[in-house]
A and B are shown apart, each in its own frame.
Chain A
Amino acid sequence: MNSQGATADPQLQRFIESETQKQRFQQLVHQMTGVCWDKCMDKPGPKLDSRTEMCFVNCVERFIDTSNFILNRLEQSKGFKSESMLE
C-alpha cells in the first residue's frame, strides 16, 4: 500500500517509528516486572530491600539471556528457517 499519508510526511513517519520503539520497551518492562514480581517478591515490606532488588536485576538479565538463547537456538535449527513457521 502506498497511501499518501504514509509517504507524504517523513516527520510523522519518524515519530511513529520512535514511539513504536519506546512502546516496545515499555511493554517489555511491564511484562518482566510481572514475571519477576512472581519470582522475587515475598510479602511487600516498607521498602524494597537490597536482596529483593538484586533478585529483580538478575531476573531481568536472565530473562533477556533466555530470550536471546531461545532465539539463537531456533535460528540454528532447520525448522525455523523453512517456511513451516511462516505458513
Chain B
Amino acid sequence: MEGYSSDFPAGGAGGKVDTGAIMEQVKVQIAVANAQELLQRMTDKCFKKCIGKPGSSLDNSEQKCIAMCMDRYMDAWNTVSRTYNSRLQKERARM
C-alpha cells in the first residue's frame, strides 16, 4: 500500500484520474468500514452477554467472558457467512 495522502489520488497527465488508484482506495475504505461494523456489533453483543451490572472496573471474569465472546462471535460470523454463501450458490444453480 503506497501513499494515500490525498482523498482521491489523481495520477497521469492532464489531471486524468488513475482508475487503479481509485479502486485501491475504495477497497481500503470498504475494509475499514467492515472492520468498524464488526467491532461495533461485537462490542454491543459481548457487552450485553458479559457485563451484568457495570462495576467500578472490568473485573477478571468479565474480561474472560468478553475474550470468549469475541471468539464465539467470529465463529458465528463465519458460520453465517458460509451458510449464506452456499444458499446463494444453490439458488443460482436452480435458475
A binding-site residues for B, Cβ under 8 Å: 5, 9, 11-12, 15-16, 19, 22-23, 25-30, 32-34, 36-37, 40-41, 43-48, 53, 56-57, 60-61, 64
- List B contacts of A30 (CB < 8 A): 34, 37-38, 41, 77
Confirm or deny: B83 has a beta carbon within 8 angstroms of a beta carbon on chain A: yes
Confirm or deny: B65 has a beta carbon within 8 angstroms of a beta carbon on chain A: yes
Q: Contacting B84 at CB < 8 Å: which of A11, A15, A29, A53?
A: A29
A12 and B19 in contact, given A23-B30, A29-B80, A30-B38 (Cβ under 8 angstroms): yes
A45 and B68 in contact, given A29-B84, A37-B45, A60-B84 (Cβ under 8 angstroms): yes
Interface residues of B in 64-88 (CB under 8 A from A): 65, 68-69, 71-73, 75-77, 79-81, 83-85, 87-88
Confirm or deny: B23 has a beta carbon within 8 angstroms of a beta carbon on chain A: yes
Total interface residues on B, CB under 8 Å, equals 32
Main secondary structure of the interface of B (DSSP, over half): helix
Q: Are A19 and B26 in contact (CB under 8 A)?
A: yes
A49-B73 Cα distance, complex, nearest whole Å: 13
B binding-site residues for A, Cβ under 8 Å: 17, 19, 22-23, 26-27, 30, 34, 37-38, 41, 45-46, 49-50, 65, 68-69, 71-73, 75-77, 79-81, 83-85, 87-88
